[in-house]
Amino acid sequence: MKTIKKLFAVALIAALFTSCYTEEIVVVDPYVEVDNGPSLNQVLSQYEIFYVDIDASSGNLTVPFLQKAFTVSFRNGTIFANNNLSGLGQNGGGFGIDVGAYDTFGYELDAYHDLDGDYSFDVRVLSGNEIELFHPSTGAVYILVGYQRSTFDYDLVFYNNIHYFLQEFEAWEKIYTSEEGEINPFDNENFLQFLPAGQSGNFRSSEDGNGTSVNNIFWDYDGIYDVNDVPGDFYLKTLTLDYNFPDNEFFDLTVIDDETIELFQVNTGTTYQFRGRGYIQFRTATDGKSKNAPKLRKKTADIKAEIKALTEKKAAALKK
C-alpha cells in the first residue's frame, strides 16, 4: 500500500511540474519585409527632375541619352529629358520631352530609350539629393542631382551651357543692325553658324543675302568661337569669333529669347541681332525612322582644351 502511495505522489508531482511549463512557439511570417530604407522607385520619384552633372561624371565611354541630356525625370515608368536649351523650363511643363521608359529591380534601373536602346544601371544614393548611376558594361558613372521644378534654376543651366544653345540652330540670320557704331566688315555678314569643335574650327559666317535658304548658304569664312563669363553679370557673356581670315571679332553676347541673340561689337559700338533658323531638336522622330545628329555634352575643361588646341593649331599654321 505504501508503495502505491509513493508511486501516486511521484506521478502527481510530475504532472504539476509539467503543467507549469509552457513551450513558446514563434511563428515567422515569410512575407514580412525588413525595412532597409526607401525603394529605388521612391528615390527616383522624390524629385521631379535630376540635373545631369557632366563635370562630376566619369568614364571613358558614354551612355548617349544621358550624355546629351541637361535634365532627366522618372515619372511613373516614363523617362523625360531636357536635351535642348531652347525652351528649357517650358517644354513639357519643365520636364522636357518623353524619350523612353524605365523599370526598377531592387536598386537596378533598367532604361529603355526610344533612340539609344536599353541600358541597365546600378544605382547608389549619395549624400543629400545626389544619386550615382553606374553602367557596368561601359564603366560610365553619371551623377544626378535632384530638384523640384519650382526650385530648380533653369536660367543657371541655360547660361552655364550657352555654347550649346548657339549650336541648336542650323544658322543664325542677322535681323537688325544699329545705326550707332562705326562701319566695319562685320556689317556685311548676314549668317552665323556654330558647331562642335572640328578639324578646322567651330563657327562659320556668310555674306549671303537675308532670306537665303539655310541649305543654300555659302559660308565665306570659318574659325573658332569661344564664350566666356563676364564677372559680376551672370546674364552677360562675351563671344569671340577667332577668324582664320581676316581679323578677330569681339562681342558682348546677350540672349533676348529662345531664338534671338544680341551681339554688341565692343570695338565699333555696333549692336546686331540674330535669329535662329532651322531649330535642331536632339531626339528621335516620332516615327522612329529618322533622327537628328546627336549632341553629346562634354566636360567644361574638355571644351576649353579643344578650343585651346584649335587656337594653337591656327597659330602654328599662320607661322608657316
**Residue ranges covered by each domain of the chain:** 40-153, 162-279
Calpha distance 230→31 (Å, rounded) = 61
User: Given 1.25.40, 1.10.3470, 2.40.128, 2.60.40, which CATH number is that of 40-153?
Assistant: 2.40.128
Return the pLDDT at 291.
Answer: 42
- Would the CATH topology of 40-153 be identical to that of 162-279? yes
Residues 150-174 as b/e (b if ≥16 CB within 10 A, e otherwise) read eebebeebbbbbbbbbbbbbebbbb
Return the pLDDT at 235.
Answer: 87
Return the pLDDT at 201.
Answer: 65
Residue 203, all three cell numbers: 563657327
Residue among 139, 173, 141, 153 at smallest CA distance from 66: 141
Return the pLDDT at 306.
Answer: 79
Return the pLDDT at 298.
Answer: 82
Taking only the tens place, the pLDDT of each residue in 244-301 is 665 789 999 999 999 999 999 999 999 999 999 999 887 643 333 334 445 688 887 7
Phi, psi of 6 (to 5 degrees): -65, -45
Residue 309, all three cell numbers: 588646341
Return the pLDDT at 59.
Answer: 86
Return the pLDDT at 140.
Answer: 94
pTM: 0.78
Omega prior to 246 cis, within 30 of 0: yes
Work out whether strand 49-58 and strand 260-265 pair parallel, antiparallel, or are unpaired.
unpaired
Calpha distance 140→120 (Å, rounded) = 11
Hey, which residues does 123 pair with through a beta bridge?
133
Calpha distance 122→110 (Å, rounded) = 9
Residue 275's H or E segment, with its range, is strand 270-279
What residues of the chain score a pLDDT lower than 70?
A: 1-36, 198-201, 244-246, 283-295, 314-320
The DSSP 8-state label assigned to residue 32 in this structure reads P
Which CATH fold topology does 162-279 show? Lipocalin (2.40.128)
